[in-house]
Amino acid sequence: MKRFLRVVFCVSLLFAFHFSLSTSAYAQGGVTGRVVDKRTGENIEYANIALLKASDSSLVNGTVSERNGTFSLTAPYGRYILRVTFIGYDAWYYADPVVFNDRRRNVNVGKVELKMTGTMMEAVEISAERSMVEYQLDKRVVNVDKNIVSGGGTATDVLEQVPSVAVDNDGNVTLRGSSNVKVLINGRPSELLSSDLASLLEQIPASTVENVEVITNPSAKYDPEGMSGIINIKLKDKTAGALGLNGVVNVNVGAPLPFAVPDSLPRWIPTAMSNISLNYTTEKYNLFFNADGGVRQRGNNSNSDIEYLNLDGTTRSHYDIDQYSLNPNYMGSFKLGGEYYFDEYNSLLLSYQLRGGNRQRHSDIYAKDVYNPNDSLHYNQVSESDNVNVNHSFNLLYTRKFNRKDEELTLDATFSTRQVTGEGEQDQVYNDVAANNDHYYLRESETENHHQALNIKLNWLRPLDTFFGREGWRLETGYEGRMDWPNQRADYYRTTSTTNHIYDAVSSTHFDYNQHVHAIYGTLGGGLTESLSLQVGLRGEYSSIYGEDLNHPATVAIDKTYWQLYPTLHLSYKFDEMQSMQVSYSRRVHRPHFWDLNPYMDVREGDQISFGNPNLDPEYTNAFEISYNLGIDKVNIFTSLYYRQTNNMITRYGFMWCADSAAYYAWWEPYNPQYDGYRASTAFNLSTGYNYGLEFIFDWQILKWWKINVSLNLYESTIEGTALLGNKDKSSFQASGKFSSYMNLPDDWTIQLSGQYWAPWLDLQTEMDANYWVDLAVKKEVFQRRGTVSLRVSDVLATGGWGHRTYDSQMNREVKAKRLSPTVTLGFSWKINNGLKQKPQQQEEEGADESTIY
CA nearest to 499, candidates 444, 446, 437, 441:
441
Q: What single letter denotes the amino acid at residue 24?
A: S
Look at residue 563 in the predicted model and tell me its pLDDT.
95
Look at residue 121 in the predicted model and tell me its pLDDT.
32
List Cβ neighbours of 511 (8 Å cut-off, separation of 6 or more).
487, 488, 489, 547, 548, 549, 550, 594, 598, 599, 600
Residue 763 pLDDT > 60: yes
Phi-psi sector, 413: left (phi>0), alpha (psi -120 to 50), beta: beta
Task: Say if residues 77 and 830 touch (Cβ distance below 8 Å).
Answer: no
Task: Give residue 850's pLDDT band: very low, low, confident or very high (50, 70, 90).
Answer: very low
Look at residue 587 in the predicted model and tell me its pLDDT.
95
* CA–CA distance, 160 with 800 (Å, rounded to integer): 13
CA nearest to 621, candidates 184, 232, 225:
225
525 compared with 235, residue with greater pLDDT: 525
Residue 351 pLDDT > 90: yes
Task: Give residue 124's pLDDT band: very low, low, confident or very high (50, 70, 90).
Answer: very low
* CA–CA distance, 219 with 223 (Å, rounded to integer): 9
* CA–CA distance, 130 with 114 (Å, rounded to integer): 19
Q: What one-character DSSP code corresponds to residue 849?
A: H
CA nearest to 515, candidates 565, 566, 559, 458:
559
Q: Give me the percent of the chain exceeding a pLDDT of 90.
A: 23
With residues binned 3-state (H G I as helix, E B as strand, rest as coil), the percentages for the chain, rounded to 5, are 10, 60, 30
* CA–CA distance, 536 with 27 (Å, rounded to integer): 50
Residue 157 pLDDT > 60: yes
- The 10 Å Cβ neighbour count of residue 198 is 18
Look at residue 2 in the predicted model and tell me its pLDDT.
43
Output the average pLDDT for the chain. 80
Residue 488 pLDDT > 80: yes
Look at residue 346 in the predicted model and tell me its pLDDT.
93
Handedness of CA 828, 833, 835, 836 (dihedral sign): positive
- Give mean pLDDT, residues 290-301: 87
Question: Helix, strand, or coil here: 107?
Answer: strand
Q: Which pTM does this prediction carry?
A: 0.75
Q: Can you give the C-alpha Rg of the chain in angstroms?
A: 30
Residue 13 pLDDT > 60: no
Task: Give residue 661's pLDDT band: very low, low, confident or very high (50, 70, 90).
Answer: confident
* CA–CA distance, 640 with 583 (Å, rounded to integer): 10
- Give mean pLDDT, residues 543-555: 86
- Give mean pLDDT, residues 685-705: 89
Residue 844 pLDDT > 90: no
Q: Which range (67-81, 188-202, 317-331) has the least confidence?
A: 188-202
* CA–CA distance, 551 with 504 (Å, rounded to integer): 11
Residue 193 pLDDT > 70: no
Task: Say if residues 774 and 794 touch (Cβ distance below 8 Å).
Answer: no
Question: Does an H or E element contain 472, and which?
Answer: none
Look at residue 434 in the predicted model and tell me its pLDDT.
52
- The 10 Å Cβ neighbour count of residue 542 is 13
- Give mean pLDDT, residues 144-172: 74
Task: Give residue 439's pLDDT band: very low, low, confident or very high (50, 70, 90).
Answer: low
Look at residue 170 in the predicted model and tell me its pLDDT.
63
- Partners of 479 in the β-ladder: 458, 520
Look at residue 117 in the predicted model and tell me its pLDDT.
63
Look at residue 837 in the predicted model and tell me its pLDDT.
34
Q: Give me the percent of the chain exceeding a pLDDT of 70.
A: 84
- Give mean pLDDT, residues 295-322: 83
Task: Give residue 24's pLDDT band: very low, low, confident or very high (50, 70, 90).
Answer: very low
* CA–CA distance, 119 with 432 (Å, rounded to integer): 85
Task: Say if residues 722 and 730 touch (Cβ distance below 8 Å).
Answer: no
Look at residue 460 in the predicted model and tell me its pLDDT.
96
Question: Helix, strand, or coil here: 716?
Answer: strand
Task: Give residue 288's pLDDT band: very low, low, confident or very high (50, 70, 90).
Answer: confident
CA atoms within 13 A on the CB side of 752: 24
- Partners of 691 in the β-ladder: 644, 717
Look at residue 149 in the predicted model and tell me its pLDDT.
67
- Per-position DSSP letters for 221-241, written without gaps between them: TS--B-SS-EEEEEE--S---
Residue 285 pLDDT > 80: yes
Task: Give residue 544's pLDDT band: very low, low, confident or very high (50, 70, 90).
Answer: very high
- Give mean pLDDT, residues 280-305: 86
Q: Which range (233-242, 361-370, 424-433) has the least confidence?
A: 233-242
Task: Give residue 375's pLDDT band: very low, low, confident or very high (50, 70, 90).
Answer: low
Question: Does an H or E element contain 413, and which?
Answer: strand 408-432
pLDDT tens per residue, range 580-621 = 899 999 999 999 888 888 877 777 766 778 888 888 999 999
Look at residue 645 in the predicted model and tell me its pLDDT.
93
- Give mean pLDDT, residues 231-256: 75
* CA–CA distance, 415 with 107 (Å, rounded to integer): 39
Task: Give residue 540's pLDDT band: very low, low, confident or very high (50, 70, 90).
Answer: very high
Residue 827 pLDDT > 50: yes
pLDDT tens per residue, range 471-481 = 778 999 999 99
Look at residue 97 in the predicted model and tell me its pLDDT.
83
